[in-house]
Each structure stands twice: as structure tokens, then as C-alpha cells.
Amino acid sequence: MAVTQQRQADTEPHDGLKFVRLCFYHVYIACTLGLSTVLLIPRSQSGAVAGGGAIFQASWVFLLGLTVVTLLTIRQHFGPNFFFAFMVCAYVTSSAIWSVNPSSTLTYGALFAGNILVAYSITTEYSIDQIIRYISRIILVLTVLGLAAYAARLSFTFYFDHQSRANLLGIQPLRGLFPHKITGGLYAVMGAILALKLYRGPLRLAAVSLYALFVVLSGSASALILGCTATLIYFVVNFAVRRKIRSGMFALLFGTAACVTSITVYLNQSSILDLLGRDSTLTGRTSLWQYGLDEWQKHPILGWGFNGYFSSDYAQYLRHISAFQNYNVPHFHQSYIQTMVDLGLVGLILLVVMLSYILYFSYKWALQDTSGAGCATFTLASSIAVAGFAIFVVFEYNHFATVILFIMYFGLRRRFAKQPNNSSATRMLTANQPKMRT
């Protein structure tokens, strides 16, 4: 029944303006996945950036302008989400006041605010299950096109790193139409999760096979580990949903299992790294993480300002780390540490609260839903949370994982919003909201 309703919702006629906004959302999400990065920032055969940075930044400023226009054309709003979006945008942009590089913080903070506003806008017009279906199609299209271009030996789909490492097949790693082999592998894992739950028959088999091929060709050890982790989480949450385990009990069991798994991985990390062909410092990442923690302690509450630290002279010491002497380090390669450095404990609490909310309510949704969208959302959020320990995925102004995190948060808040009371103000606020489908 739920699947039938969803298909009907996806085929409902849109007015012209709403259709234009839907096209904009598709383009914006494709850009956060890296399409604009690949097309507007060309690289040489050695992997060095060959210009295009100004055009790339201008494209995001243009998208920010379209975001504001889009927001102004929406007639229906959801008060709690709008207030949350406003507060987060205000905090990030106002961090320019204490930032070590105010101009960088203000510029990239405004672009990050655009990410939040797009996530808010799309969730006011579409249910979360509709949105993740749109997203699954975008990831699949970009993956197929990227693999096709890689097979045609188009160099812009190759990934070149400063250590000249090959993938598991001994050939040049693949990034496809994504900005990096690691993010490309992450998005392929996300696409596989969505395909497993939302597709059926030959399409599901073909999609998952293509995503698996992409991960192997990317040569990303992070993607391989994340793929195995996401698969495990996928089967665990599906088993729990079939057994109708309640949300509180599942949270306890899942948290315990996560702790046991983390301890097991920690005790066997040397063997795991040897198997993946990586050194004990994770190619210098552990050194970066320690430096990041040291720098965070200098500004623990509010941080150094969004995107302020690495655009300032304070980051010059990183060039003295041997693993990064030929590499311009852009961040700490870890979401939680980077968030603490950029936005302090306030930012870290925001991130943890959002992830906790999404995990709890997506599982609650999975217990009520037969389409699989709830399970997919839970697995996506879990994958982002796990990836954050070794990859910088949130909060970043042009990163898909950041956008979908806010989409899931806003979408679930709308889905589980309390029924309106009898006050006229509440009735006016919710009168035009689309009905929740379960």
C-alpha cells in the first residue's frame, strides 16, 4: 500500500514553478556530489589543479543566489525546521566575528548556509521518502556516466595522488564524476544502500554490481571498509525491523554492538591495515588528528571560525609533517575533529544531536514503513557517522553528505511532527502542509 502511494506521489502533476524548483534541486544535489568540481576544475595528467578555481567558486555563489530565490518562491513553510535552519546559518556565518580568517569564514559560511536552506526547501515540498528516491537516481546516473567515461579513458575521471598509488587491479584509480576517489567510494556505498532497499529485480542487481565495481576501481581503502561496515549495519537493522525490536532496546543493542566492534577493530588494526596495504599512521592521518585536537584546545567552545583555520597562516606548520610535504593539506581528514576546530564544542554538539535524532527516528520510521526507506535512511546516517571518523564529510559547504544529513534531519522532523492542536495559529501554520505517508 505504501509503495503504491509513493508511486502515485512521484507521478503527481507539478505546477510549472514547482517543477523548476525540482530541477534546481536535482542540479544542486549533483553539484554537491562533485559534478561542478569535475567540470569546472580541470586537472593535468599529474593530477595538479590546472585552473578554474575562480569559476568554480562563482558557480557556488550563483547557486546561492538561486537558493535564495527558490526559498522566496515557496509558499508553504514548516516553522520548527525554518527556525533551526536560521539558527544554524546564523551561528556559522557569525563565527566570522571570532574567526582567524573572517573573510574566508563569511564567504564559505554563506555557501554552507545555502546548503542548509536547500535541504530545508526541498523537505518543505517533498516527503523524505520521495527525496531519497530522487537522490538514488542522481547517484546512479553519475556513477554510470563516470564508469563509462573511465572505460573510455577520459583523464578527468582518473584520480592522481601524491603517492602514485594504484587501485586493487593495479591500474589508475577512479574518481569518475566525483571530486575524489574517497568521496566517490563513499557515494557509491550510499548508492548501493539505496539500491538495496528501493530497487527490485534486475535493476537492483545491476545497480549494486556497478557500485561495487566503482568502489574496487576507486582504490579507496576507506570506501572498502565503509562498504563492509554499511553492509553489516544494513543486515542488522533489517533483522531488527523484521523482529519488531522497539526503538529503545535497539538503541541499546546497536550501541553495545558498535562499541564491541570498535574495540575489536582497534585491537586488530595492524592486521587490518596490512591487509589493506596501509601504514600504521593511515598515511599521516593520525598525526593530523593529534594536531587537530591540540589546536581545538586553544579555542574549545566556539572554535577558530568556519573554514578559518586552514585558510590562515596557522596551518603552515603542517608542511613540516613528512607525509604531507608534497601535499597541500585542506582539512584534518576527520569530521568530528574538523568540526571542533571550526565550530568548537557548539558545532560538535550540533552534529551529535542531529545524528542521534536521525538514527532514532529513522529506525522508528522503519518499524512503521514497508517500503524500506526508513532502513535506508538509518543505514545512510550510520555510514556518515562511521565515515566521519576517517573522512571529512560534515560540515563542509559543498559536500553531499552534509546536505543529505540536513535533509534527513528536516525530513524526519516533519514526518514525526506532533499533530496540530486547536489553536488557529497552529492550524494556519500546518494547513497547507502535505500529508505524511506511511
Q: Which three cell numbers stand for residue 129?
A: 521518502
When pLDDT is cut at 50, 70 and 90, the band that residue 200 belongs to is confident
What are the two backbone dihedrals, phi and then psi, of residue 158, each rounded to the nearest 5 degrees? -80, 155
Return the number of other C-beta atoms located less than 10 Å from residue 407's C-beta: 28
Mean pLDDT score, 299-326: 79
pLDDT at position 411: 94
Q: Name the residue with higher pLDDT: 336 or 278.
A: 336
Q: Is 394 left (phi over 0), alpha (psi -120 to 50) or beta?
A: beta
pTM: 0.85
Q: 201 and 366 in contact (C-beta within 8 Å)?
A: no
Looking at 133-147, 334-348, 370-384, 416-430, which range is the least confident one?
A: 416-430
pLDDT at position 275: 62
117 by Cβ neighbours in 10 Å (0-12 / 13-18 / 19+) ranks as buried
Non-local CB neighbours of 94 within 8 Å, separated by 6+ positions = none
Among 98-112, 256-270, 317-331, which range has the highest average pLDDT? Answer: 98-112
Share of the chain above pLDDT 70, in %: 80
Mean pLDDT score, 34-58: 70
Residues β-bridged to residue 158: 174
Return the number of other C-beta atoms located less than 10 Å from residue 382's C-beta: 25
Mean pLDDT score, 408-415: 94
Mean pLDDT score, 410-425: 66
Q: 410 and 395 in contact (C-beta within 8 Å)?
A: no
Please tell me the distance from the alpha carbon of residue 80 to that of residue 370, in angstroms, as a whole number. 27
- Whether 12 has a pLDDT exceeding 80, the answer reads no
Rounded to the nearest angstrom, the gap between the alpha carbon of residue 132 and the centroid of all alpha carbons in its chain is 13
Residue 126's SS3 state is coil
Q: 343 and 303 in contact (C-beta within 8 Å)?
A: yes
What are the two backbone dihedrals, phi and then psi, of residue 49, each rounded to the nearest 5 degrees? -70, 130
pLDDT tens-digit series, residues 259-272: 777 677 666 666 66
pLDDT at position 431: 43
DSSP 8-state symbol, 11? T
Apex 227 CA angle, 225 and 232, nearest 5: 100
Q: Which three cell numbers stand for residue 298?
A: 586553544
Return the number of other C-beta atoms located less than 10 Å from residue 18's C-beta: 15
pLDDT at position 271: 65
Residue 183's SS3 state is helix
Q: 410 and 123 in contact (C-beta within 8 Å)?
A: yes
Return the number of other C-beta atoms located less than 10 Å from residue 174's C-beta: 28
Identify the residue whose cell numbers are 582539512.
Answer: 331
Mean pLDDT score, 171-200: 89
* C-alpha torsion 52→54→55→59, nearest 10: 130
pLDDT tens-digit series, residues 209-260: 999 999 999 888 888 888 888 888 888 888 888 888 888 888 888 878 777 7
Q: Which three cell numbers stand for residue 361?
A: 527516528
Residues β-bridged to residue 49: 43
Mean pLDDT score, 385-412: 91
Q: 6 and 375 in contact (C-beta within 8 Å)?
A: no
Nearest to 217 by CA among 185, 179, 178, 180: 185
396-406 burial string, b = 16+ CB within 10 Å, else e?
bbbbbbbbbbb
Q: Which three cell numbers stand for residue 278?
A: 596501509
Average pLDDT, rounded, for the chain: 82
Apex 359 CA angle, 222 and 290, nearest 5: 45
Report in angstroms the alpha-carbon separations of 281 from 37, 159, 316, 390: 29, 22, 20, 12
